[in-house]
Structure 1
Amino acid sequence: MHRDFLLEFAALEKPVQRRVSEAFEKFASATHTGAHLEKLTNQRDPRIRTIRITDFWRGVVLKAEEGDVYLLLKVLPHDKANDWACKHRASVNAATQGVEIRNDVALEHATESLRAVAGEESRRLFAGHSDKVLRQLGIEEEILPIIRLLPDDTHLEALHTVLPEQQFDVLLGLASGMEPEEVDREIVQAYARSAVPEEAEPSGDGLVAAMAHARGRVALVSGPTELLEILERPFDTWRIFLHPAQYRIAYRESYGGPARVTGGPGTGKTVVALHRAHQLARRLPADAPDGCVLLTTFTKDLAAELERCLALLIADERVRAKVRVVNVDALANEVVRRERGGAPLKILVDQREILARWGRISRGLGLDFADTFLDQEWRQVVLAQAITSPEQYLKAPRDGRGKRLGPLQKAQLWRAVVAFEEKLRQSGEWTFFQVCARAAQVLDEPSDRPFRHVVVDEAQDLHPAQWRFLRALVAPGPDDLFIAGDTHQRIYGNKVSLRSLGIQVAGRSSRLRINYRTTHEILTWAASLLTGERPDDMDGGEESLAGYHSTLHGAHPDVHGHPGKAEEIKALVARIEKWIGSGVRPEDIGVAVRFVQLGRDIAQALEQAGTPAWVLGTGASGTGVRIGTMHRMKGLEFRCVAVAGVCDTVVPMRSAITPLESDAQQHREDLAGELSLLFVACTRAREALSLSWHGAPSTFLVPVAEVRVPASL
């Protein structure tokens, strides 16, 4: 079954889906008698056939030359199915040995158009790469002439739906600046190495083997029962179709130590983490205890989503029982409570109260430090480096802290730290980071560790205290830690060096470059927000979006302003009603806001208009359009997303920004965090994005509000 088939099946109305299921349930008997399989005249590939579903709908299949093997390619209206079947052809990629489907007619037309352009344009996009190099990377002989006509990446992007997918990935990698050796390692070999295991290699003609080698685009289905089980949940394609790069990372037999995967939004880092947890659990010996593989993340909401997805992925209950899903802070709380005899911990979570205490301490000691500066120094230096004495603090590096401190100032600041921590002890209160720090100390005492493997998702937002706790949960060794994250999406300002915490990922790091969630148009617009941003990679290097692209296309983001809040909400309600009218379920629509009150106002307006809505985090789960703060939207995805209230007084949130005069470096870091937060909110959308404001737009939007989406990044 080809990935495109399942995606198109998911978009069909329920009655048509049932007819498709019925047709393929009877497929085996129908093909044995030759019934319903139709050849067409003037076909480019005689192996492509159509199968009748209804008078109006047809399925398109590719029949192997030998054996009883078929590849389900498309489900389309009758005339469109016939037209598609006549124009397309299957072939085998020489470099990866995977099956590819191309539109021969469209390629011929594109070649004619490019020849006309070539006469006016002297530039050639791939002039620096020889035919030999391109062939070695899997570019076919008949594709080379059209490639040689391309003047720039805009024209390459125009061929996205025409070129075979593997070859397009290769060409886009080269166009984005990757060296041929890098393309071979990260793209070509990723496709080639993720083929079926040798013992499962199919027999039959070359086309059958090529289907099996096309992981990420083709799923092997043994019969109607397995096919129908897949068709019951067509939107959950991540369970079945892993891109070869994802598969290679998730199902590697073993890593020699901690391993890491990075990549922009929608590249499937969470999917890889889920599949890795599955791989680790099913590899365990039969006597391994339940819950000995930990799958963890930053927040409770994200952990609940991981739990839901894991239940979809792992059908075997015995394997599923081996994986425990819980967020980091909850697990640390559990460890410390157990040490203290089960007594509950009193957690101080109100940031306003925390800053107020720092302010009182600073005034009481007569210090010239702002409350935000003291709090950040405590979190980012003292807790981050597990400092427990003034001598340690005096010698501690303060990388990333913009305000220089002399010995006398450090002594004064240490007095404030001692007073703050003493106040917490007196009141029996903890912060989350203190709980993690204590949990790490508790686990460092015994020789045994509670988990055999730890898989971490959304790793970029974890604090060093949380990383020490995670390091203490599992003994160092092969496959101890598997880490997934993207520092472009860091929204809490917790910078960390994994190497300094004893987590060595050098030589075991991989980067994903293809976005499977968000359309090219949305992705490019959102990425333009981050122009010039080069965040760290948590290991001494820099992250980059070079080569990052989407496989999907759709409408441009709808970006607009309004004179007042009432007008913005009214337009937003109309936009959501239009989405629902086009067939999108309310549950597949998300609304992101910077503060919760605007979310409540939008929910009220939607309810008054007859559209159910639910504000995340305000009580029991509800139904309808899901509305949440930008922070709560992290890790979620929707078919359609509206980002509302992106005004200059709200985004960036002034209270979240350290004053420039207090700490210039922290001021820049805070702005970067607010920008990443907006980027995260926008990239929750799969198909449609609407972004709005009232009054003046956010300063983040000024350079991009009128951006027309370029062809590629």
Structure 2
Amino acid sequence: MPHLAFDIDFCAQLSKLQGGVKQGVFDAWEKFEHLTLDQLFKDQGLKLETLKRARDPHIRTIRIDQGTRGVVLAPDSGDTYVLLRVMPHDKAIAWAIKQKASINTVTRAVEIRDIAMLDELTPAYEQIAPAPDERLFAKVSDGDMAALGIDETTLRQARVLTDAEQLEVFAPYFPQDQREVLEYLAAGFSVEDVWRDVVSVAMSTVTAGDPPVDTQDFATAIQRTRARIALVSASDELRDILDKPFAAWRVFLHPSQHKVAYRPSYSGPAQVTGGPGTGKTVVALHRVRHLLGHLRDGDRVLLTTYTNALVTALRAELDALVTRVCGWLGSGIAPGEIGVSARFNKTCDRAVDRLRAAGVPAARLRGNAPADPDTVQIGTMHAFKGLEFRCVAVIGVSEGALPFPKAVTAAEVDRLQHDADLLAERCLLFVACTRARDGLYVSWSGDPSEFLVETGAVDRQALPDRG
């Protein structure tokens, strides 16, 4: 019987979907569970349709409700389809025809890319690119790129990029595994580091005895893509996911997370570290699940977390941002004259969502696209280079974000490179702050960045004692 699985990008939409749309998703899933493939294609309520002008025949749409369609990966082999996105009818069609599915020849996972947008961006950036030896990935050979899972299409596109700022423009459209590899390389990690920390952990489902990868065998690839595709087997489980969006994230584990959560045992206490949003709480929940399956009668598991405090601190920071921006707007400053900058894309996205929820028009900076004068502009510190605003809010200037540990070489490894990396991190903050012409606002949640303490912007004596 056929099945409908769920991509992680669909789960990211859950909190914004109306109840009727969620019910439509549930009804579609039930049809996949109870009908044959032939019946699915004939079902007039589902309307599993191929698309005219689609870049990939494997990308199709299904009906969710009267005005909403779901975009699905419909492989030629196997009986598992994957729901990628749910969108209003016209937007779903427009998005679907630009996507292309493929299978990574190294990780063997399913990948989705916006091939139409990448094909549009590449020649434009090629025209303004410097000589090849001055470009972003000039020091990484084609062979090393291939070994890290970068296919010929992505390689051609990546070779036109000059700096990390340009990579940020392309990043949302690259396949996820390949994007992560390129971002690590652009941050200065070696090929060996990227293989160890990114590629090898994504290959946890690959064994030495596996046959050569079949780039058309989506049925097998879907089963291997457990970090991004969830296979739901029971209606109660799906109801829980649809009704409680956090439950959706519990079904996804990156291979590196799975390795930590389901390790048979540890010889003593174990510490799992990672920045905000890296899934530490999710790993802890899975670890509890693993332990519960091996308890003796009378044993119990205690789970404690400080997540609520961190969430409260971040929420307070974003609320303060709204207050500050509204104050600037109230003083007569136009939305387009206000910029909001952060170290990470996720922080920028949260700022956009919070401002919009407060009724403030806000949008992400997108490459060379002209800015809307009626919209507050939000972007990363890299994206703010060369721009100027009357007022700028620099948010998330917290310990662990600036300097970002992964961007700084350990002093014991290379002292000179360590110092250079720290300088680069300071320059990022300097660039963001100097984009303001009249007003500057800087905020953090938790402990402030050491850069703020060093400059005297924050009173060291006023900080709480952590010892």
Q: Is TM-score (shorter-chain normalized) higher than 0.5?
A: yes
Distance 1:541 1:155, change over 3 A: same
Go from structure 1 to structure 2 and tell me whether the alpha carbon gap of 1:561 and 1:263 turns closer, same or farther (over 3 Å shift).
farther
C-alpha contact (below 8 Å) 1:63/1:71 kept by paired residues: yes
2:116 maps to 1:105: yes
Matched, 1:44 2:44: no
Match of 1:384 in 2: none
1:15 aligns with 2:15: no
Cα pair distance change 1:223/1:145, threshold 3 Å: same
State the one-letter code of the partner of 1:214. T
Q: 1:56 to 1:76 in 2, by over 3 A?
A: same
Aligned-partner residue type, residue 190 of structure 1: V
Once the two structures are superposed, what CA deviation does each residue of 1:585-627 show, in whole Å capped at 9, x if it has no partner? xxxxxxxx99xxxxxxxxxxxxxxxxxxxxxxxxxxxxxxxxx
**Structure 1 match to 2:30:** 25
TM-score when scaled to structure 2?
0.64
Q: Which whole-Å CA distance do the structure 1 matches of 2:264 and 2:348 have between them?
A: 33
Larger CA Rg, structure 1 vs 2: 1
Name the structure 1 match of 2:302.
Answer: 294
Equivalent residue letter for 1:262:
T
Alignment of 1:242 onto 2:247: no
Q: CA deviation at 1:251?
A: 2.1
- The answer to whether the Cα contact below 8 Å between 1:195 and 1:212 also exists between their aligned partners in 2 is no
Offset of residue 234 of structure 1: 2.3
Match of 1:472 in 2: none
Alpha-carbon offset, residue 175 of structure 1: 1.0
Q: How does 1:683-702 map to 2 (within 5 A)?
A: none
Q: For the Cα contact (< 8 Å) 1:7–1:235, is it kept in 2?
A: no
For 1:139, the equivalent position in structure 2 comes to 150
Worse-matched range after superposition: 526-535 or 210-219: 526-535
Q: 1:213 aligns with which of 213, 224, 227?
A: 224
Shift of 1:221: 1.9
1:174 to 185, 189, 193: 185
The equivalent position to 2:68 in structure 1, one of 57, 71, 74, is 57
Partners of 1:517 and 1:119 in 2: CA distance:
30
Deviation per residue, 1:165-217 (Å, 9 max, x gap) = 10010111111111111111111111111579x9xxxxx97211211211221
- Match for residue 361 of structure 1? none
Secondary structure in 2 aligned to 1:160?
A: helix
- Correspondence for 2:9 among 4, 21, 28: 4
1:5–1:73 Cα contact (<8 Å) kept: yes
The equivalent position to 2:285 in structure 1, one of 249, 264, 274, is 274
User: What are the Cα deviations for residues 72-121 of structure 1, in whole angstroms up to 9, with x where unaligned?
Assistant: 11111111111222111111101111000111111101111111121588
Do 2:73 and 2:81's aligned partners in 1 also have CA atoms closer than 8 Å? yes
Q: How many residues align?
A: 351
SS in 2 for 1:128: coil
Cα distance, 1:106–1:257 mapped onto 2, change above 3 Å: same
Native 8 Å contact 2:240 2:247 kept in 1: no
Give, in whole Å, the separation in 2 of the partners of 1:85 and 1:298: 40
Give CA deviations for 1:626-655 in whole Å, capped at 9, x if unaligned.
Answer: xxxx77x9xxxxxxxxxxxxxx99964855
Conserved 8 A contact 2:11-2:249: no
TM superposition shift of 1:519: 3.8
What is the identity, as a one-letter code, of the residue corresponding to 1:294? Answer: L
1:607-618 alignment to 2 at 5 Å?
A: none
SS at match of 2:57: coil
Q: How does 1:283-682 map to 2 (within 5 A)?
A: 283-284=294-295, 287-291=296-300, 293-296=301-304, 518-519=347-348, 525-526=394-395, 528=397, 531=402, 652=459, 656=463
CA drift of 1:30 comes to 7.6
Match of 2:139 among 128, 137, 143: 128
Look up the SS of the partner of 1:111 in the other structure: helix
Gaps of 5+ in 2: 1-5, 210-214, 312-342, 352-379, 382-393, 423-431, 448-454
Q: Distance in 2 between matches of 1:298 and 1:16?
A: 34
Q: What is the match of residue 152 of structure 1?
A: 163
1:229 corresponds to: 240
3-state secondary structure, aligned to 1:101? strand
Residues 254, 97 of structure 1: CA spacing in aligned structure 2 closer, same or farther, 3 A cutoff?
Answer: farther
Identity %: 39
Partners of 1:45 and 1:226 in 2: CA distance: 31
In the alignment, the residues of structure 2 paired with residue 533 and residue 91 of structure 1 have an alpha-carbon distance, to the nearest angstrom, of 32
Q: Which moved more, 1:52-61 or 1:8-17?
A: 8-17
- TM-score, normalization: structure 1? 0.43
1:298-342 Cα shifts (integer Å, max 9, x gaps): 79x769x9xxxxxxxxxxxxxxxxxxxxxxxxxxxxxxxxxxxxx
The counterpart of 1:94, out of the listed 105, 113, 126, is: 105
SS of the residue aligned with 1:100? strand
- Tell me the distance in 2 between the aligned counterparts of 1:94 and 1:69: 20
Matches within 5 A, 1:176-195: 176-193=187-204
Is the 2:79–2:219 contact (alpha carbons within 8 Å) kept by the matching residues of 1? no
